[in-house]
Structure 1
């Protein structure tokens, strides 16, 4: 067979020389080398009519243009969307929530859990041993400097009021420069053992006020609410910071109750964020967490710590959505929502959901109006004009 400019003849076969040197033709659409002309035509025709749906942008992408790129969570991505993702160094799948280890590896959340990595006590670097990453290994997290404890300080909890629903308040407070020692001393005196103050890397200059677990009714009656007014008068603020509420896992009747509660919060994310006065990446409502609620309840999925509901603590769920504030009603409304949402979803039935719009924010706010103990929340909702 004589040499030609093409490695194939009209039947799609290749000459002995081209076969010997591996000069195979390629698919005109995807550039895959194909040895046989008939196979080449079949391959091209097969891909011509097939598409896949990108799980990120929802576009339908012809396979003759691109093969799907595999991502975590059984997702498939088109190449433009994959540019915003990284590749996990363990499973080699694309992921948009990669975490860095102190050795420089980038891991998806699932692989981090599988490989027994966890957070450094000071920052978000993943470590597989000890308490701190290399940058913070010399930190003494238990130092008590002028009443301010290290980030990892966790005393034995002291429970106040009648459970089983106990709430733990974490309030991030900014302090005017030069006045930290005085504000720590004043706050410690007023708390009188009900809580303690901790360092937190998200606060430029100030502290995180953490309470021991309190029943909601006990908190309304016995927490020293005048402390917030005093901090405000001293020039402190919650601006730019967060207010987190820990809810005891013992408050839930079981996994189905947890499912109903999480589902309710995520389904009403817009109204919850309006109530919380912020939408933040530190308390994110992600589709991945919403889609995995069932697995979270079973303990087979662990959402990132910065999710709207942090499920990582062993004994609590951390509701992270609220903006910090020194206004008493804002803080009381946050505690009220935590308690009320758990109570509301405890006895929510399938009939309530399907026939009585039980998932909706409107039905929840109507339920609130018949329960005067949640007056701070009702008043806050009316002011925010998000009660229907």
Structure 2
């Protein structure tokens, strides 16, 4: 059967005759071979070139120009609204740098529209919240403590790569998975060594001492041996990157009264006579979380320490970036007590350990009274704030340093702290 001439159409693209023309528009018709086209979802016309949108639609160039579409920064898919803005922080309203809109954002809110960075929903799923700054990022890195940090925060907090993997660590050479504590030499354990705790004395208010000690060059092995012999299992020695040549002496948890009576205090004199020192290093006291009556007690204690930072630093004999009193931590004490805020590890009070609070403020020392006063302050400050009432705080200045000093004078068990305060002239 012969096809009528009237049904034969010339392809507007290749010029060949076709009996099954495809009408692209009122002005152009093409053959099947050239009809590798798509219907534009927006205007309904066929088009050679279409672009995929975030809604899996295809639009022509004209619709793309007139529809106010933008392109995902990662995959080139078209989208009407962006989904991510690095300038938006949880719980507060921030202004988008591009459109000047103020957008409040909470943790479970959808990602906001932005003029800073345009992302389609599929790409936005790769972004998550940094555990330090609470901002979205697609390059989060895991730390050996389980936190996820963006590159900026990892750098700011002093993290770096384990030499055997990509896990972020903040001290030492290897992460826990690649550190071989069986290779400990002469009784000096690796940084992450943490045996099962042995509790001494009556709790639940237990204290753990960490004392960083410098050792004269060439004498490390002897001092390690002597110190371990004297400790007799009460503590152990660890490496620490902040010590040029020496060790960190770590005790098992001790009740304060037990520590005063039973810790081998003559060990500090022995180390001092052997030329060791605490110069330039820190003394940290871990306080068991079980010592606190609840979140309100933690709040009163942390508030007391931060409100009296000048007196605390005088007592501690140092003001250090390794034990910083920052406004950001002071303003977020309530969130820290609730477990919704991760203060940096180098804060005056490190809240990251799971079972303790680490009071990091003190300068290291081999002076017995200095160390006893540090333990006494840790214990006394927790005991003092335990029963503080609103009336005590508002009407009697309960959060002030003089009120604390008056309370101390009636408790002779804290004599090392009282004597230290009197010598430092910060007891009144």
TM-score by length of 2: 0.63
Aligned to 1:124: 159
Give secondary structure in 2 for the equivalent of 1:136: coil
- Which residue of 122, 126, 136 corresponds with 2:174? 136
What is the Cα deviation at residue 143 of structure 1? 2.5
- Which residue of 224, 243, 263 corresponds with 1:184? 224
Write the distance in 2 (CA, Å) between the matches of 1:191 and 1:232.
Answer: 16
Asked if 1:164 corresponds to 2:204, the answer is yes
Output aligned runs, 1:228-377, within 5 Å: 228-377=268-417
What is the Cα deviation at residue 258 of structure 1? 0.3
Write the distance in 2 (CA, Å) between the matches of 1:314 and 1:260.
Answer: 20
RMSD across aligned C-alpha pairs, in angstroms?
A: 3.6
Aligned to 1:19: none
Aligned to 1:208: 248
Contact kept, 8 Å, 1:170 with 1:210, in 2: the verdict is yes
- For structure 1, list consecutive stretches of 5 or more residues without a partner in the other structure: 1-66, 74-88
Between the two proteins, the alignment pairs up a number of residues equal to 299
Write the distance in 2 (CA, Å) between the matches of 1:106 and 1:281.
Answer: 24
What is the Cα deviation at residue 125 of structure 1? 2.9
What is the Cα deviation at residue 302 of structure 1? 1.1
* Greater relative contact order (CA < 8 Å, ≥ 6 in sequence): 1
Query: CA offsets, 1:176-213, max 9 Å, x none?
Result: 00000000000000000000000000000000000000
Q: Would you identify which runs of 4 or more consecutive aligned residues in structure 1 move more than 4 Å?
A: 67-70, 89-93, 95-98, 103-107, 111-115, 129-135
From the CA coordinates, give the structure whose radius of gyration is larger: 2
Give secondary structure in 2 for the equivalent of 1:386: coil
Asked if 1:226 corresponds to 2:266, the answer is yes
What is the Cα deviation at residue 324 of structure 1? 0.2
Write the distance in 1 (CA, Å) between the matches of 2:330 and 2:191.
Answer: 29
TM-score by length of 1: 0.69
Contact kept, 8 Å, 2:140 with 2:148, in 1: the verdict is no
Give secondary structure in 2 for the equivalent of 1:317: strand
Give secondary structure in 2 for the equivalent of 1:172: strand
- For structure 2, list consecutive stretches of 5 or more residues without a partner in the other structure: 1-99, 107-125
